[in-house]
Amino acid sequence: MAKYTRIEVYQAMKETGVVPVFYHADIEVCKAVVKACYNGGIRVFEFVNRGDFAHELFAELNKYALAELQGMILGAGSIVEEGTTALYIQNGANFIVSPLLNENMAKVCNRRKVMWSAGCGTITEINKAQELGCEVVKVFPASEVGGPSFVKAVKAPMPWTDIMPTGGVSCDKDNLAKWFAAGVTCVGMGSNLFPKDIMEAKDWSALEEKARELIETIKSLK
């Protein structure tokens, strides 16, 4: 059962400004990464449904976060249908993220009052997602559907829209400045936050510092 309400998740996304997107088959690596992000000031984390027994890894990771990282909100991403949605909700996911728009997933999440973020690439999809109760729309793949200019264009006729672009977002200040100037609520970030050299060296202090610098950069842009 989710510990955090959909409003609490939304507020954390908006305040933090970034949602890390991550998967690893080693639970100890997952724990170290989540802790480094937490120590760096991040309070929302998306575990990617990728690889065998991913939901079992998530269950253990979520238990760890609840016990050791007060206020860290874990959710699950890259989910495309309602069966897997229900599975992650049963394992305590506080939010569900999808790369696409699936109405049946919305129904499952809404029944349990769990936040749901649908992947959209057109203004019509965004409108449909909002009709279905989507609080923060995931624009994906963000760089391919128009980048910051797409976000700005959507917000002109629909200023109430909360957008989280994923794909094409980096830690670079100039890149982030374009997204936040366009009006995003937060950004989703995967490999750019978890560079290969840091991950191979398991340099968790370096990752913590990278997360801290990212949070400071986002705060300066809001």
DSSP state of 116: E
DSSP string, 16-55: H-EEEEE--S-HHHHHHHHHHHHHTT--EEEEE--STTHH
- Model confidence at 119, pLDDT cuts 50, 70, 90, reads very high
Give the Cα separation of 78 and 83 in Å (integer). Answer: 13
Q: Which of 220, 190, 179 is nearest to 97 (CA)?
A: 190
Domains and CATH numbers, the chain: 6-211 (3.20.20.70)
Which range has the worst mean pLDDT, 40-44, 141-145, 171-175?
141-145
Q: What is the pLDDT of residues 183-214, one digit of tens each?
A: 999 999 999 999 999 999 999 999 999 999 99
Q: Is 199 exposed, middle or buried (0-12, 13-18, 19+ CB in 10 A)?
A: middle
Give mean pLDDT, residues 17-42. Answer: 98
Q: How much is the pTM?
A: 0.96
- Model confidence at 9, pLDDT cuts 50, 70, 90, reads very high
State whether the Cα torsion 16-18-19-25 is positive or negative: negative
